[in-house]
Amino acid sequence: MSENSATPIAPLSAGNIVSAGMRIYRDHFQPYFGVAIRATLWSFLPFLALIPIPLIVIYSQANTSSFLLLIPAWLLLFIYCSAKSIVNNAIIARLVFGELTNQPETVREARHTLKPKMWAFLLAFFLFSLIGIGIWLILSVVIGILAGIIAAMANAGQPNVGTIVVLVLIGIVIFIIALIFIVRLLIRFFVFDMPLAVEENITATQTLGRSWELTKGYVGRIFVVLFIASLVTLPIGIIVQIIAGILENILKATIPANPTDASFQLLLFLMGYSIGLLSNVFLLPFWQAINALVYYDLRTRREGMGLQLRKQDI
């Protein structure tokens, strides 16, 4: 059978999804890495524009109220750069999905297709952020009320050790239940950008609903995939933290400055943020590959679509 032939495959296991993501990333490292660099630089640009402001305030003692006039301009820059970064993320996911369905595209072709959807992607991410904030606020209020009730019960009368232990256990159980609830809800939106990236005539609100529909009944499975993928990327995170700690100690030892000095703290922040961005450049294509693979697997399982996977050992 030729290299470009395609054969139908059964739905993938959690382990196969992660291994396939690594293989696809490895086989297409150069184009995916290039798009990841662009996505990361676009996300970094608004914060890069903020660097001169604290330095000017610290050293020139300028009137800080004058900088308030720059806030609208910075917000516009942040919105535009966020949209550009998000659409570059989606380009990687679309390229991976094209490989899975034996309909490969070039980066230029994927960018040309998704560019008109840039503001739809931004709106979808904004709506998703509102959903996440809303979930967190509601659960925070509920947990706060329950914590107040438990504290009132603990203070009523003369509590003994057994009562305190029981109340603490109740609090732990409530926290775990709330955490599981949050995770389950967020997982329902894990592939919310994929329909907008690969399907036609999808709006920002519809892509969220599409993710909710596809992930129904598969939350546990997706959680396992994310857990395995997190374990794979864990060594990179540890290495990044070690490098950041070493560089911080070097700066403290070589620069004669008070560690609490504002400019020195700014330098440390920029150094840590830059290292974080560097790790993001390497990890972004992998996570977008996982995103595309989960979406592909969900559509195969739920819709029985006649997708074809390029013949490869995954």
Residues 200-225 have pLDDT tens digits of 889 999 999 999 999 999 999 999 99
Q: What is the pLDDT of residue 62?
A: 54
Q: What is the pLDDT of residue 314?
A: 41
User: Do 72 and 96 contact (CB within 8 A), yes or no?
Assistant: no
Q: What is the pLDDT of residues 262-306, one digit of tens each?
A: 666 767 777 777 787 888 899 999 999 999 999 999 998 887 654
CA nearest to 82, candidates 129, 42, 36, 127: 42
Distance, CA of 308 to CA of 314 (rounded, Å): 14
The tokens describing 221, both together, are 């499975």
Burial of 23 per CB tally in 10 Å (0-12, 13-18, 19+): middle
- For residue 98, the cross-strand partners are none
Helix runs in 188-261, H state only = 194-198, 204-214, 219-254
User: Do 190 and 294 contact (CB within 8 A), yes or no?
Assistant: yes
User: Do 101 and 24 contact (CB within 8 A), yes or no?
Assistant: no
pTM: 0.83
Flag residues of the chain having pLDDT under 50.
Answer: 1-9, 306-314
Q: What is the pLDDT of residues 107-124, one digit of tens each?
A: 999 999 999 999 999 999
Q: What is the pLDDT of residue 259?
A: 63
Q: Supply the Cα-derived Rg of the chain in whole angstroms.
A: 24
Q: What is the pLDDT of residue 2?
A: 36
Distance, CA of 300 to CA of 312 (rounded, Å): 18
